[in-house]
Amino acid sequence: MNNSQLVSEEPGPVIVRVADTFDAKYAFFIVKEMESSARARGTGIGQRSVESICQKMENGEAVIALTKSGTWVGFCYIEAWQQGKFVSNSGMIVSPAFRKKGIATEIKKLIFNLCREKYPHADIFSITTGLAIMKLNSRLGFEPVTYSEITTDEHFWQKCRHCVNYDVLQSKGCKNCFCTAMLYDANAHTA
């Protein structure tokens, strides 16, 4: 897998690559931007701990985007569910100064490839309210599905507890809410 991409941007190129232990210094900024972005969207989903972001980096289960000078640009991570039957793409965030420049596309492509490499037989899913993420997912072969087609792991659904719509999700037995679930069916794409 090519684990590094260059995206041409002003004032210089952005490097998109698999994160590692040395990137832990960016975790606080990532968490703060996730929280800020969630507030701006009117949800609470962006709440993650610095420790959990660092753990994803240490485990090679995250993608980070940085300028050549070391400025943090973007981030996303993966998480396996039901003994690797499902893998989620989560926590996609791009710094406001770098949005609408194709960075999210490059992060999404690399996180998708990382999922396929680490969990080649897993179905990959994403839940989002963001149209841009839905479009990116569609380009990669994801299709909209009902919640019953993604993980039933209670721990996954507990991660939604900070969302302002969590009561809706709970009242519907985690069967639907305002987010759109999208799935990449690994079996449907196997040659």
Q: What is the pLDDT of residues 67-126, one digit of tens each?
A: 999 999 999 999 999 999 999 998 899 999 999 999 999 999 999 999 999 999 999 999
Q: What is the pLDDT of residue 88?
A: 94
Lowest-pLDDT range, 27-36, 57-66, 153-162?
Answer: 153-162
- Residue 172, number of CB atoms within 10 A of its CB: 11
Bigger pLDDT: 170 or 111? 111
> Which residue bears the tokens 């990669």?
140
Residue 14 or 128, more confident: 14
pTM listed for this prediction = 0.87
Report whether 90 contacts 79 (CB < 8 A). yes
Cis amide prior to 96 (ω within 30 degrees): no
56 contacts 62 by C-beta, under 8 angstroms:
yes
What is the three-class DSSP state of 141? coil
Q: Where are the alpha helices (DSSP H) in 11-165?
A: 27-41, 50-58, 103-118, 131-139, 154-158
Higher pLDDT, 165 or 62: 62
Compute the C-alpha angle 133/118/18, nearest 5°: 65
Q: How far apart are CA 62 and CA 39, in angstroms?
A: 23
Residues 2, 148: Cα–Cα separation, whole Å: 33
pLDDT category of residue 9 using cuts at 50, 70 and 90: very low
